[in-house]
Structure 1
Amino acid sequence: MKFFEHKPFDARAVMGFGVLNGISIGLLNLSLGFNSVGFYQMTKLAIIPCTVLLETLFFRKIFSKTIQLSLTILLLGVGIATVTDLQLNALGSILSLLAVITTCIAQIMTNTIQKRFKVSSTQLLYQSCPYQALTLFIVGPFLDGLLTNQNVFAFKYTPQVLVFIVLSCLISVSVNFSTFLVIGKTSPVTYQVLGHLKTCLVLAFGYILLRDPFSWRNILGILIALVGMILYSYFCSVENQQKASESPAQLSQAKESESDPLINIENGSGIVNEGVVPKAPVWNSDKDLRA
């Protein structure tokens, strides 16, 4: 439909990224199925520190103490608002650990692939979605049958069910598009911050629209989380402004160094007299001349 330009690039990177994304989605759903809601929320909270750790170790990315403080406040608030019961089991814990690792790697890859191959979020999504869909289509029904003893294809799909499935798919496309766009333009950590904002909004809308039970603990947690999000946004904008102000200075220094007068090799002076053509340097075996 000509909304964007089709741009193929490294097929192996796209295939690996698509399959990894599909595995991540499957593991997150399995984690929710085998764990309590409280432990699943703890799993989601672990994605931010895990992402920070991976980017620090493998990409040498430095997170300032102010950014770390704002993320700590954010995680504390979301934890207070959402984490209720913590029921642990061995299989659920293993699935949660795998879900956190694969999700972090997939989101980091979303950012690095867009920058490395100079593709937009839409181009990356277009290239990787077939592999992601194929992975889920093969693995999903098999796991559903294994866990529930029911065949997903044997379900009676009424017109009403089909309408909601199509609606869900359309919403999922918009979610995927916004996810790739946000991660590509900002960072995986910023995307996770927005994800926790979504969690707070879900709680708030559930209370306002659906009259879900709400406690002072939920309100306190949401307020603390909002403070962390505001601090994170503020510190990120301050650091971006500092980087932007440093860039012109570095460019001017580079230009000055490029426009420096030629060095007189013979006498070591950095000044060249006007109107005098400098002599070509004569090779001297006694000296170590460096360009």
Structure 2
Amino acid sequence: MLPLALSFCGFVVFTNLSLESNTVGTYQIIKTLTTPCIIAIQTYFYGRKFSFNVKLTLIPITLGVFLNSVYDIKFNFIGIVYASVGVLITSLYQVWVGEKQSELQVNSMQLLYYQAPLSAFLLLFVIPFFEPLDAFHGVFFNWPYEALAAVTASACVAFSVNLSIFWIIGNTSPVTYNMIGHLKFCMTLLGGYLLFHDPIQALQLMGILCTVAGVVAYTHIKREEMRRSSPLPTSVSSSGSYSKS
């Protein structure tokens, strides 16, 4: 359980450092490397097989994210380092979430129940290096009740997000979880445009279409693969013997 908890800590720390050091566009572009990284880890270390068609769906998805983020790309060395380490650790974490559920024969809530307290304890040792303890707005600052309520609400949302990660990966796969993440990114952009009238460029619309097309193609390919790999239903003949229909 310790490797899973440590990988979660790394996922939290380096993802936030990447967001702090990079623009959102740069963060999103590098984040797309998570899916091929997961495929590589599962292929070379866990013997998983991915069809060529599944790998091809990464092309429109990556292109779509690039088109969505092209207006906000700025690279810097430390940001690239944080983002790259974050991609690797995030990939390991998501792979291990699925592997541990299978290995320990537990569901998503049970695994999160054991992993979350240990991860929270380990993060206590990281906080002093990144957050001021007694300065203005530090950990021990006299926070107003509104801020505490916002932090509590954020923690509840974070718990729900983590639970969804465990549930989706446990019932599907880390790659499928990332596909849902790409779709969520597109829905966020569209929601901002439709609900809050955020400006959106033509290239971004093309990017959304590319990403959605890639996710739809992935879904179709996986459904076809599952249909072909599922056993044929059996029926009972009049003589009482079973035959495949």
**Contact 2:26 2:69 (C-alpha < 8 Å) held by counterparts:** no
Aligned pairs (5 A) from 1:57-72: 57-72=44-59
Unaligned runs of 5+ in 2: 235-245
3-state SS, counterpart of residue 7 of structure 2: helix
TM-score (normalised: structure 2):
0.89
- Give the corresponding residue for 2:138: 152
Unaligned runs of 5+ in 1: 1-13, 249-291
Aligned pairs (5 A) from 1:1-291: 14-145=1-132, 152-245=138-231
Q: Taking structure 1 as reference, are residues 156 and 42 closer, same or farther at Cα in structure 2, changes over 3 Å only?
A: same
Aligned residues: 233
Report the alpha carbon displacement of residue 246 of structure 1 after superposing the two structures with TM: 6.8
- Give the corresponding residue for 1:258: none
**Contact 1:36 1:87 (C-alpha < 8 Å) held by counterparts:** yes
- Give the corresponding residue for 1:4: none
Q: Taking structure 1 as reference, are residues 247 and 105 closer, same or farther at Cα in structure 2, changes over 3 Å only?
A: farther
TM-score (normalised: structure 1):
0.75
Q: Taking structure 1 as reference, are residues 106 and 219 closer, same or farther at Cα in structure 2, changes over 3 Å only?
A: same
Q: Percent identity?
A: 32
Deviations 1:98-138 (A, max 9, x none): 10110000100000010111111111000000111122232
Report the alpha carbon displacement of residue 52 of structure 1 after superposing the two structures with TM: 1.0
Distance 1:78 1:60 in 2: 29
Q: Which has the larger radius of gyration?
A: 1
Q: Taking structure 1 as reference, are residues 108 and 209 closer, same or farther at Cα in structure 2, changes over 3 Å only?
A: same
**Contact 2:137 2:143 (C-alpha < 8 Å) held by counterparts:** no
| Aligned CA-pair RMSD | 1.9
Q: Taking structure 1 as reference, are residues 83 and 138 closer, same or farther at Cα in structure 2, changes over 3 Å only?
A: farther
**Contact 1:121 1:177 (C-alpha < 8 Å) held by counterparts:** yes
**Contact 1:26 1:140 (C-alpha < 8 Å) held by counterparts:** no
